[in-house]
Amino acid sequence: VQNGYIEDVEGLSLTSRSDTLRAEQDSILSGRLVMGALCLLLVMMGLVNYMNVTMTGLAVRRKELEVMECIGMTGRQIRGMLVCEGMFYSLIIAALTITVGSGIIRGTGILMKQRIPYFVYHFPVAEMALVLGCVFLICIAAPILMYGKMETLKNKRNTGK
């Protein structure tokens, strides 16, 4: 050791995380693009499935809704009931996402950290809030829009247009 520096460094290797991260940037970017496309595809499939189930449910419940209207329930009350149902579904999804989904994300982050030295884990709080907000919006708006469309078609049939 001379002047605080080690002169003989044979057998010693030093790897910087920032150098490794820079070297893997292209691989990381392509992985994010593929995973983003896969996530978008899954979201679209889920959305189409939810719309299909909601439309089918409203079609099956059409007689039930008509009976409710005949005994005095107003269209506004039916829309309120559909909003409450949508909020209930949203709360179930949010609870499962926050508990089970967060556990899976955290477990995956820990596993990735152990296997990839340059991996940095950040919990996606903003993204999760955005997705849950969209879920609430979709679960509440979709039945209302479909009920409105159903009412429009019923009114056209009743007026003979």
For residue range 137-160, what is the model confidence (pLDDT) as tens digits? 999 998 898 888 888 888 888 776
The pTM assigned to this predicted structure is 0.68
**Residue 119, CA distances (Å) to 30, 33, 101, 115, 150 in order:** 15, 17, 20, 8, 51
Distance CA(108)–CA(111), nearest Å, equals 5
Mean pLDDT of the chain: 85
**Residue-wise over 115-141: b if at least 16 C-beta within 10 A, else e?**
eeebbeeeeeeeebeebbeebbebbbe
Residue 102 binned pLDDT confidence (cut-offs 50, 70, 90): very high
DSSP, res 5: B
pLDDT at 4 over 60: no
Mean pLDDT of 82-93: 93
State the Cα angle at 138 between 92 and 76, rounded to 5°.
Answer: 95
pLDDT of residue 9: 59
3-state secondary structure of 87: helix
Residue 24 binned pLDDT confidence (cut-offs 50, 70, 90): confident
Residue 161 binned pLDDT confidence (cut-offs 50, 70, 90): low
**Cβ distance 130 to 43 under 8 Å?**
no
Taking the CB of residue 90, how many other CB atoms lie within 10 A of it? 18
pLDDT in tens, 49-78: 988 988 888 888 888 888 888 999 888 998
pLDDT of residue 1: 47
Which residues have CB under 8 Å from 87's CB, separation 6+?
A: 136, 139, 140
